[in-house]
Structures are given as structure tokens and as C-alpha cells.
Structure 1
Amino acid sequence: MDDGAVQRIGAGALGARPLRYYDFFMAAFVAILLLSNLIGAAKLSTLGGVTFGAGILFFPLGYVLGDVLTEAYGYARARRCVWAGFAAMLFMALMSWVVVALPPAAGWPDQAAYEAVFGSTWRIVFASLIAFWAGELANSFVLARMKLLTQGRHLWMRTIGSTVVGQGVDSLLFYPLAFYGDWTNAQVATVMVTNWAMKVGWEAILTPVTYAVVGFVKRREGLDIYDEGTNFTPFRASIPQG
């Protein structure tokens, strides 16, 4: 990163300054979140004797984007993306419920298959919403605080450390809330721990990608944002205007 081209500022001083790529990252973040939960959350797969939730293959990309958003744009803007994702997931759940509940046309043969694919129970929807919201905000909070403590050094330690916490919160909430009583206790524990370990492993593997994207965004925006004086409450979606 060309330090001469990048200005260090506090998040509160950013105000309403236009940002080149923030909207694109928000859109990508929400898209990955929705597709991962719609397609892969409830399917169990086994490869090489290891059992895991199928969504693990793509869901961690959302955490990488969450890291980039927090590192490049600050906690408040990452928090805004989390709330946008939360609202999108809620609408997806409502739309799925309405569409599945609509009576099929006479002769349409695919209602049962449609229900199997899109008819997630409200228990799974609730678990997804709570786990995502808590896990992403924990991830962003830890990353932002570690950036202040390390003065912006050791990005790899901050991204992996925040993922250990954030994905831990996500897994600890989602699998028991969604599947306790439906799966055996052993299945819940095995998939929970395996998915957490695989997500952290994915984050470690994708660290060079995170470095490259963060460096690119900081250079293009000309900013390196630190959350000095940031209000870290999770219960707001607004962005301080300076």
C-alpha cells in the first residue's frame, strides 16, 4: 500500500464524503448472504469422512467482505451492511413463506419439491437471522477494536482473530437454535465445531485475497479509517455525519 497516497482519519471525520466502492461491497455482501442461506444452510454433506453444512463453501466469503468493509470503511458502515443483510434475510423469509403457501395451479407437479427447497421452517429462519446478526457484528467489533490496539498492524491476525470470535458466535447460536431436537446431540456438536473450524480455515486461506482487496480499496479511496470515538452499539444502522 502506498502510504503517501492514503490518509489516516477517524471514522467520525469521514462524514458524508462520497466513497467509490462502498455500495458495491454492500450489494455483494447481501447477495452472498442471501444465496448462502437460501441454498446451502440446511443441507448436510460428507466429504472424506468429514460432515459439514453445505453453505460453508460460500458463506465465509461474506465474512471476508465483512472484514474488508470494517477495515476499509469502519465499524459503522459495516454495521449498516449487517442491518441491510438482516432486513434482506427477513424479506426473503417472508417471500418464501408466501410463495410456498400459495395454492399451486391445477396440474403443476412441483409443489412438493418447491416446498422441500424453499420451505425452511421459521425455526431455521429465526436461527439464521439471530446467528448472522450477532456473529457479523461480533466479527466487525473485534476487528475494529484490534485495529485500534495494533495501530493498523498485523491485518492477518485481526482478520483471523475476529473470524474466530464472529464465526464462533454464529455457529454457537445457529446450529443449536435450528436443529437441536431434530438432529442428534452428536450431529449438532459435530457440525457446529466442524463448520466453525472450516470457516476459520477458509479465512486463513483467503488472507492473501483479503490483503489484496483491502490494499486496493484503501489506495483507491485514499483513506485508512480508524474507529476512534466510534459508538459500537449494535442497535443502530445510521452512519455518523461528522
Structure 2
Amino acid sequence: MPATGPQSDLTRHSTLFVVVVALFVTNLLISNVIAAKAILIFDYPLQAADLIFPISYILGDILTEVYGFKRARRVIWIGFACNVFAVTAISLGQALPAHPDWTDQASYEAILGSQPRILAASFAAYLVGEFMNSTILAKMKVWMEGRHLWMRTIGSTVIGQGFDTAIFLTIAFYGLWPNDLLFSVMLSQWLFKITYEALATPLTYLVVNRLKRAEGIDVYDRDTNFSPFALGK
């Protein structure tokens, strides 16, 4: 399998690449919708979104491992833009006057409405977490010369999800929840997401290997500018 550099073949978007991007964005948007529900799994306090949001990190790993950091960076920003658009559309729907016969405005706002503090927490956590995850994975791939994918995916998730979870819960709930509760939820969610990634490792290996064979690429980010804002480089 040819190993290509970060500058190669960035303009060709194969069907498989588009499918992975679509899954990434869809998973992100659905996670934000179902996040309003608090759940309890084996006595661990979680959000409903915790059941699927870690998939975005798995897909991020796949994008970075196969297509390189430069493409993954663009996809992360695409996901952010789609999220902003979705929030704007939902907020517009919330602000529009309701039909006199429609009595579900409160339910609409309870499920889909978000306070500015929650939105700020979500946006900041997403960007920091995803870019940390992708950057660490790409650099570890070069350091390890492409070996030990399991170590790279789990290692990057430990850091990326750690930042994601800590940033979101701190911005969203610090001062509103007791500190011991905040730390307990933070730790529970972080451990759950790491376990999720570890259990998904065989599937990640399968998808990565098949994509590399189908696409004929295996990008190493040896000379990549890892700034999140270097979209043209």
C-alpha cells in the first residue's frame, strides 16, 4: 500500500470519504439533540448523547489515520459549521410564533432549546477535543511509524475526550452543581468514553484497513502544519 504525504490527493473526494464525513456530521448533530436526556447506566450518571457521541471520535480517528490531519481538520470545521447552522435553525423555529392550536412549545424548548452557556460549552469542548484527538493521533502515527493503531486511538481519546468532557461540564455547570457532583459526572463520562473507544478497537481496525486498501492511501503527517486554522496549508 502506498504511503502518501500530507500534501497529496487532497482535492479528490471519494465516495467512501464522503460517507465517513456524512456519518461524522450526522452523529454530531444527533448527539446534540438527544443530549437533553439524563440517563443512568450501571449506576453511572450519563447523558443519552454519551451512547453515540464517542462514535465521532472513532470516525475522527478513522479520518486522520486514513486521510491525514489536513482532511480531518476540514471535516472538524465542517461539523462545527453544520452544528452552528442546526442550532440557528432550531432557535429560529423556537422564536417563531406558534399556531394557536399547537400546544407543545414548552416541550419543543425543553428538548431542542439550549441556553447560551450550554451552547458555548458544547462548541468549545467539541473544537478543543476533536483537534486534540486528531493532532495526537497524527503525531503518534509518525512517531510509531504507523504501528500500534490501538495504542494511538486509545491514547488520543484519553486526551481528546478528557479535554472535551472537562471543558463542557466546567463551562456548562460550574457554580450550578456541587463540585463533588461535577467531578463525579466528569470522571464517569470520561471513563465511559475511553471504555467505549477501547471496545470499538476491533471495528476501528477493520474499517481503517479496508479503507486504506480501497482508497490506496495511507497518509503520514510528517510536514503538516497542525494549526486548526491553517486550512489552506
Give yes or no for TM over 0.5.
yes
Task: Work out whether residues 96 and 118 of structure 1, in 8 Å CA contact, stay in contact via their aligned partners in 2.
Answer: yes
How many angstroms does 1:15 deviate by?
4.2
Give 1:44's aligned residue.
38
The correspondence for 1:85, drawn from 79, 83, 86, is 79
1:100 partnered with 2:100 = no
Q: Which amino acid aligns with 2:204?
A: T
Give 2:144's aligned residue.
150
Task: Work out whether residues 83 and 237 of structure 1, in 8 Å CA contact, stay in contact via their aligned partners in 2.
Answer: no
- Aligned partners of 2:18 and 2:212: how far apart in 1? 15
| Superposed CA offset, 1:15-63 (max 9, x none) | 43453411111111011001001212x3321233221222110001111
- Aligned partners of 1:65 and 1:109: how far apart in 2? 39
How many angstroms does 1:137 deviate by?
0.4
- Aligned partners of 2:10 and 2:21: how far apart in 1? 18
Q: Which amino acid aligns with 2:152?
A: R
Root-mean-square deviation (Å): 1.3
- Aligned partners of 1:10 and 1:106: how far apart in 2? 60
Task: Work out whether residues 10 and 71 of structure 2, in 8 Å CA contact, stay in contact via their aligned partners in 1.
Answer: no
| Superposed CA offset, 1:71-101 (max 9, x none) | 0000010010100011111111111111111
Task: Work out whether residues 56 and 199 of structure 1, in 8 Å CA contact, stay in contact via their aligned partners in 2.
Answer: yes
Q: Which amino acid aligns with 2:33?
A: L
Give 1:25's aligned residue.
20
The 3 A distance-change label for structure 1 pair 121 and 170 is same
The correspondence for 1:71, drawn from 65, 76, 95, is 65
How many angstroms does 1:147 deviate by?
0.1
Runs of 4+ in 1 over 4 A off after TM superposition: none
Give 2:7's aligned residue.
12
Q: How does 1:1-242 map to 2 (within 5 A)?
A: 6-40=1-35, 42-238=36-232, 240=233
Q: Which runs of 5+ in 1 are unaligned?
A: 1-5
Task: Work out whether residues 53 and 191 of structure 1, in 8 Å CA contact, stay in contact via their aligned partners in 2.
Answer: no
The 3 A distance-change label for structure 1 pair 104 and 65 is same
- Aligned partners of 1:83 and 1:151: how far apart in 2? 27
TM-score w.r.t. length of structure 1: 0.92
- Aligned partners of 2:30 and 2:230: how far apart in 1? 25
- Aligned partners of 1:155 and 1:200: how far apart in 2? 15
- 3-state SS of the aligned residue for 2:218? strand
How many angstroms does 1:212 deviate by?
0.2
- Aligned partners of 1:229 and 1:23: how far apart in 2? 25
Q: Percent identity?
A: 46
Identify which of structures 1 and 2 has the higher relative contact order when contacts are C-alpha pairs closer than 8 Å and 6+ apart.
1
Moved more, 19-28 or 125-134: 19-28
| Superposed CA offset, 1:96-117 (max 9, x none) | 1111111211121111111111
| Superposed CA offset, 1:119-141 (max 9, x none) | 11111111111100110000000
TM-score w.r.t. length of structure 2: 0.96
- Aligned partners of 1:46 and 1:224: how far apart in 2? 40
Q: Which runs of 5+ in 2 are unaligned?
A: none
